[in-house]
Every structure is written in structure tokens, then in C-alpha cells.
Amino acid sequence: MSSQATRTVRIGSSNGLHARPAKLFAQAAKESGAAVTVAKGSGAAVNAASILSVISLGAEHGDYVTLTAEGDNAEHVLDALTELLTTDHDA
């Protein structure tokens, strides 16, 4: 049975969701096996497994993004991705 989960999180990296954090995030989303999207504010959701799409959001430190995951392990996927987004990878 497939499930869907949604979570809104605050960007923790002091330089926002730029190259390194975006790469870590996109890689984790891709490896999760779930269909994951991410949206900033009321903007359109993009494929979280695509580093270019993630960077194109222009998410800065303190911005809120909404993650949606679909799959058997949707909640676990969001737990891991939330951890990545709330951590300051620039520290």
C-alpha cells in the first residue's frame, strides 16, 4: 500500500539551498525510492531528486519549503530529508 506524506520545513543552511546542500538533498531524495517533490512558499512543486530543480527554487536560509513524498516509506523519507534541510551544511 502506497502512502503520501507532506511536511513544511525551514531551511537551515546559512547560504540557503545552494549547490552542496541541494546536491545532498537531491541525492537523498533520489536514493529514497519515493516520489518526492519540494515547493517554496506558494510556488510550484518541483522534483526533489533533480539538483537543478532544487536550486531553481532559490530557497534561502530561513525560507520554508513544503516536501511531499509518495511511497511505502513516505514518513521515513521525509524524516531523513527534513534532517538534511534543517541542518546547516555551511557551518
Model pLDDT for residues 23-82, shown as the tens digit of each residue: 999 999 999 999 999 999 989 999 999 999 999 999 999 999 999 999 989 999 999 999
- Count of domains observed in the chain: 1
In a domain, 20, yes or no: yes
In this structure, the strands spanning 35-40 and 3-10 are: unpaired
Structural domain containing residue 30: 3-86
pLDDT band at 2 (very low <50, low <70, confident <90, very high): low
CATH code where residue 16 lies: 3.30.1340.10
In a domain, 33, yes or no: yes
Could you give the residue numbers annotated as active site? 18
30-47 b/e (C-beta count within 10 Å ≥ 16 → b): eebebbbbbbbeeeebbb
Global pTM? 0.92
In a domain, 91, yes or no: no
Between CA 12 and CA 1 the distance in angstroms is 33
Q: What's the grid cell of residue 73? A: 516509506
In a domain, 28, yes or no: yes
